[in-house]
């Protein structure tokens, strides 16, 4: 990783694809005249036996356990290039929930309450992120309630408590169901909405980046049909007829 640059924005992805899916258009626009950093958190290589639920996920993705991180890294590099040549990427070595904690053994638990043993990760993540000296951090709101997204959002709140400027993006595809966003906004954890309008180039770059995640597209969009059409419809709804992405200011915890 190159040395941090003053004033840059750090986009935080729990997993490969989260930033491209949720705020890839904004990243593409930022990359035109700056060097945004995408940092992906939960991409550590698991050691030892893989839990049964992780094997189930690998089957969904059509990837062998031995190759999953290699493929996901290749997909991520492809997506970064699609969004813009100035983008820098960093992978951290926190383990994905499906490898980290045997309590996450089903879709219900993966999108449920955080396991008590995971709570120290909030401070661990915040410490790693603050070391990057970002001027602005952009984290998921944890719409949809995936446990790794919950941890990342709470780490963002911790950063805000330390004086950092933190914005939260609406997690795609979970936000496609409008009922998932309202409870998050109602918690009082965010305020001050910011809308980024996407021109044709930004939207095409976002779609091209998402196209790179070949192992994930069939799973992510299994209930939404063609992913480009689903994204276009969502972004036009957000922008009142114009393509747009939206973010909210994350308040200190």
Predicted confidence (pLDDT) per residue in 113-136, tens digit? 999 999 999 999 999 999 999 999
Predicted confidence (pLDDT) per residue in 132-146, tens digit? 999 999 999 999 999
Q: What is the mean pLDDT of residues 179-185?
A: 87
End-to-end CA distance of the chain: 30
Angle at 2 between CA 92 and CA 139, to 5 degrees: 45
Answer whether residue 65 shows pLDDT above 90: no
Residues 142, 152: contact at Cβ < 8 Å?
yes
At residue 121, the pLDDT reads: 98
Closest CA to 169 of 185, 187, 183: 185
Angle at 139 between CA 248 and CA 251, to 5 degrees: 50
Q: How many CA atoms lie within 13 A of 145 on its CB side?
A: 14
Strands 9-13 and 37-40: parallel
Domains of the chain: total: 1
Retrieve residue 218's tokens. 């069939």
In a domain, 2, yes or no: no
At residue 66, the pLDDT reads: 76
Answer whether residue 3 shows pLDDT above 70: no
- Could you give the percent of the chain with pLDDT greater than 90? 81
Q: What is the mean pLDDT of residues 32-51?
A: 92
Predicted confidence (pLDDT) per residue in 199-213, tens digit? 999 999 999 999 999
At residue 48, the pLDDT reads: 78
Answer whether residue 96 shows pLDDT above 90: yes
In a domain, 244, yes or no: yes
CATH of the domain at 59: 3.40.50.10320
In a domain, 3, yes or no: no
Helix 200-211 with 227-238: angle, nearest 10 deg: 140
Q: What is the mean pLDDT of residues 83-101?
A: 95
Q: Which domain holds residue 78?
A: 9-250
At residue 6, the pLDDT reads: 55
SS3 92: coil
Cα–Cα distance for residue pair 22/172, rounded to 1 Å:
5
Cβ within 8 Å of residue 85, ≥6 positions away: 31
What confidence category does residue 2 fall into, taking pLDDT thresholds of 50, 70 and 90? very low
Residues 166, 137: contact at Cβ < 8 Å?
yes
Q: What is the mean pLDDT of residues 162-176?
A: 96
Answer whether residue 42 shows pLDDT above 80: yes
Task: Tell me how long the chain is.
Answer: 253
Answer whether residue 27 shows pLDDT above 80: yes
Give the DSSP per-residue string, 144-172.
T--HHHHHHHHHHHHHHHTT-EEEEEPPT
In a domain, 1, yes or no: no
Q: What is the mean pLDDT of residues 48-76?
A: 87
Closest CA to 252 of 142, 165, 169: 165
Q: What is the pTM of this model?
A: 0.94
In a domain, 82, yes or no: yes
Answer whether residue 240 shows pLDDT above 90: yes
- Report the mean per-residue pLDDT for the chain: 93
Q: What is the mean pLDDT of residues 47-74?
A: 86
Cα–Cα distance for residue pair 91/94, rounded to 1 Å:
9
């Amino acid at each position: 990783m190159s040395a941090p640059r003053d004033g840059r924005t750090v986009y935080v992805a729990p997993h490969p694809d989260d930033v491209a899916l949720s705020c890839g258009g904004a990243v593409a626009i930022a990359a035109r005249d700056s060097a945004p950093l995408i940092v992906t958190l939960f991409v550590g290589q698991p050691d030892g036996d893989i839990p049964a639920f992780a094997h189930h996920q690998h089957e969904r993705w059509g990837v062998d356990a031995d190759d999953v991180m290699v493929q996901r890294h290749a997909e991520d590099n492809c997506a970064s290039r699609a969004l813009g040549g100035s983008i820098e990427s960093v992978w951290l070595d926190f383990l994905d929930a499906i490898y980290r904690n045997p309590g996450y053994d089903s879709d219900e638990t993966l999108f449920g309450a955080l396991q008590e043993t995971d709570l120290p990760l909030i401070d661990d993540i915040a410490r790693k992120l603050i070391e990057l000296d970002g001027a602005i951090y952009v984290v998921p709101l944890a719409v949809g309630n995936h446990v790794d997204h919950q941890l990342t959002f709470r780490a963002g709140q911790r950063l805000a408590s330390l004086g950092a400027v933190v914005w939260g993006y609406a997690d795609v595809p979970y936000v496609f169901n409008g009922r998932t966003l309202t409870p998050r906004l109602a918690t009082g954890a965010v305020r001050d909405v910011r809308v980024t309008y996407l021109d044709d180039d930004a939207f095409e770059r976002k779609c091209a980046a998402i196209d790179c995640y070949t192992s994930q597209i069939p799973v992510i969009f299994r209930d939404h049909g063609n992913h480009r059409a689903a994204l276009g419809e969502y972004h036009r709804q957000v922008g009142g007829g114009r393509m747009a992405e939206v973010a909210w200011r994350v308040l200190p915890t």
